[in-house]
């Protein structure tokens, strides 16, 4: 980690007494952030660039265009809740209105990581993923976790998951978004116990909690009941327009609605070509710094009592497809019970303050940034190796 902090973008005069905000972007990330932002600030408006959303209602807010709130933006800070890929255009759009980055508006990742530390001395993280199992009902050639290339897949014990979470919340005060992933997480054999574990021990420290599923499995009624009780949500990645596969999405949706579980159904998702492991990119050290900064990954993973900066590198390491490198993670064990100042290094890493400015894996990976215009066929299947 370099000495140059990444936690000093927001100037005190502008941000310290923040009360009112505007949310810019009410896609997947905006929806996940909404409740915790609403619990901490007055949301004066939600705006979006998607014409299909304009005029629709989300949580009692009528979604507006930027031009509809021309007066409001002069005196209200804007939190932009879009992926890095779209942020550049939105920044240009806001600058075109005379607004200045980090004074009048800020990207949500920077905001959450910096604001709560600076002004409340708390370690708040935007997003962390936890994998229950690396078994999956699909076998996608371009899986973001490279699972078809692993020699061995399997599930994590409930005890190890609990140890991870206990260690994590000894270091992190609050998490905005916990994504429960797999493989296919609904394959997990202890699903009921896992939901109970989160619900009982950690639910008050997490904003959004959601499973990411491919819609091939419908959990048992007793699990759905518990998910409803603890306000778990579900994000269904629907590949039915891309591939023919045996999904149970209509049945799953019916059940989720029956139990009052909020869900998102995501279709037509573009898949980035990460290159790894078959056609690796090959960036040099110098470009890798820019490449990682442009990527600005929010895919952080909790495993083995460590917080990994990048889920892709975690997966490549865990699957023994790439050598371990220490700077890819923070060892949470050694930060347990430490002061916020000592735990601040978690935030620095989350914002990409990493020794040398990049991860070794970034040299071989296409990333999520605007320098990656390569796409692959979404969810294309390949034969299983065994």
Query: C-beta of 329: minimal distance to ligand SF4 in Å?
Result: 12
147 makes contact with ligand SF4 (CB under 6 A): no
Q: Which residue is nearest to ligand SF4 (CB)?
A: 367
Would you say 79 and 22 are in contact if contact means Cβ atoms under 8 Å apart? Answer: yes
Pair 130, 188: CB distance under 8 Å: no
Q: How far apart are CA 241 and CA 219, in angstroms?
A: 23
* Residue 238 binds ligand SF4 (CB under 6 A): no
Answer for which of 126, 295, 347, 349 binds ligand SF4 (CB under 6 A) is 295
Q: Which stretch binds ligand SF4 (CB under 6 A): 53-61, 85-93, 187-195, 306-314?
A: 306-314
Measured from the CB of residue 236, what is the shortest distance to ligand SF4 in angstroms? 23
Spatial contact of 307 and 127, defined as CB atoms under 8 Å apart: no
What is the Cα–Cα distance from 181 to 212, expressed in whole angstroms?
5
351 binds ligand SF4 (CB under 6 A): no
Is 162 strand, coil or helix? Answer: helix
Stretch of 31-39, 106-114, 125-133, 291-299 contacting ligand SF4, by CB under 6 A = 291-299
Tell me the C-alpha distance between 300 and 318, whole Å. 14
Interface residue with ligand SF4, options 48, 104, 155, 313 (CB under 6 A): 313
Ordered alpha helix ranges (H), the chain: 12-15, 28-40, 84-95, 108-120, 158-171, 191-201, 221-229, 249-258, 285-295, 311-318, 340-350
361 binds ligand SF4 (CB under 6 A): yes
What is the residue-wise DSSP string for 208-249?
EEEEEE-SS----HHHHHHHHHTT-EEEEE--TTTS-----H
> Is there binding between residue 359 and ligand SF4 (CB under 6 A)?
yes
Using CB under 6 A, which of 9, 178, 362, 379 touches ligand SF4?
A: 362
Q: Is residue 329 within the footprint of ligand SF4 (CB under 6 A)?
A: no
Return the range that interacts with ligand SF4 (CB under 6 A); candidates 10-18, 61-69, 91-99, 307-315.
Answer: 307-315
From residue 195, alpha-carbon distances to 1, 109, 182, 232, 302 in Å are 35, 27, 15, 8, 17
Q: Does 301 bind ligand SF4 (CB under 6 A)?
A: no
Neighbours of 238 (CB within 10 A): 19
Neighbour-count burial of 217, counting CB atoms closer than 10 A to its CB (0-12 exposed, 13-18 middle, 19+ buried): middle
Is 365 one of the binding residues for ligand SF4 (CB under 6 A)?
yes
- 215 counts as binding ligand SF4 under rule CB under 6 A: no
Query: Which among 295, 354, 342, 35 is positioned nearest to 175, based on CA atoms?
Result: 35
* Binder of ligand SF4 out of 69, 181, 234, 310 (CB under 6 A): 310
- Determine if 297 is a binding residue for ligand SF4 (CB under 6 A): yes
Q: Cβ 295 to ligand SF4, closest distance in Å?
A: 3
By the 8 A CB rule, do 141 and 380 touch? yes
| Smallest distance, ligand SF4 to C-beta of residue 107, A | 16
Site for ligand SF4 in 366-385 (CB under 6 A): 367-368
Q: Residue from 291, 300, 318, 343 that binds ligand SF4 (CB under 6 A)?
A: 291
Rounded distance, CA 130 to CA 218, Å? Answer: 20
What is the smallest separation between the CB atom of 354 and ligand SF4, expressed in angstroms? 9
292 binds ligand SF4 (CB under 6 A): yes
C-beta of 164 vs 297, nearer to ligand SF4: 297
Q: Considering beta carbons, is residue 123 or 310 the nearer one to ligand SF4?
A: 310
Which positions touch ligand SF4 (CB under 6 A)?
291-292, 295, 297, 310, 312-313, 359, 361-362, 365, 367-368
């Amino acid at each position: 980690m370099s000495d140059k902090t990444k936690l000093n973008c927001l100037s005190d005069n502008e941000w310290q007494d923040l009360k009112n905000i505007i949310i810019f972007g009410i896609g997947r990330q905006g929806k996940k952030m909404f409740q915790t932002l609403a619990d901490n600030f007055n949301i004066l408006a939600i705006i979006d660039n998607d014409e299909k959303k304009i005029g629709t209602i989300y949580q009692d807010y009528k979604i507006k265009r930027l031009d509809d709130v021309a007066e409001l933006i002069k005196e209200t800070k804007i939190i932009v809740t879009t992926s890095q890929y779209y942020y550049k255009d939105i920044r240009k759009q806001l600058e075109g209105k005379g607004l200045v980055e980090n004074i009048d508006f800020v990207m949500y990742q920077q905001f959450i990581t910096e604001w709560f530390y600076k002004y409340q001395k708390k370690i708040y993280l935007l997003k962390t993923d936890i994998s229950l199992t690396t078994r999956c009902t699909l076998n996608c050639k371009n899986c973001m976790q490279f699972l078809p290339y692993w020699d061995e897949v399997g599930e994590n014990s409930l005890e190890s998951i609990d140890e991870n979470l206990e260690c994590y919340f000894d270091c992190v005060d609050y998490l905005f978004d916990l994504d429960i992933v797999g493989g296919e997480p609904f394959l997990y054999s202890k699903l009921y116990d896992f939901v109970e574990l989160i619900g009982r021990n950690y639910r008050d420290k997490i904003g959004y909690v959601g499973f990411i599923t491919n819609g091939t499995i419908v959990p048992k009624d007793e699990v759905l009941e518990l998910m409803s009780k603890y306000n778990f949500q579900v994000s269904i990645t629907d590949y039915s327009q891309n591939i023919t596969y045996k999904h149970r999405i209509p049945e799953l949706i019916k059940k989720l609605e029956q139990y009052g579980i909020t869900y998102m159904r995501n279709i037509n998702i573009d898949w980035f070509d990460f290159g790894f492991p078959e056609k690796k990119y090959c960036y040099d050290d110098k470009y890798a710094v820019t490449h990682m900064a442009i990527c600005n990954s929010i895919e952080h993973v909790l495993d083995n009592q460590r917080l990994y900066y990048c889920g892709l590198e975690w997966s490549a390491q865990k699957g023994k497809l790439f050598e371990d490198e220490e700077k890819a993670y923070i060892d949470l064990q050694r930060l347990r019970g430490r002061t916020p100042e000592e735990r601040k290094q978690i935030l620095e890493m989350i914002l990409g303050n990493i020794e040398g400015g990049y991860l070794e894996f970034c040299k071989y990976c296409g990333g999520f940034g605007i320098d990656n215009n390569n796409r692959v066929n979404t969810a294309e299947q390949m034969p299983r190796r065994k």
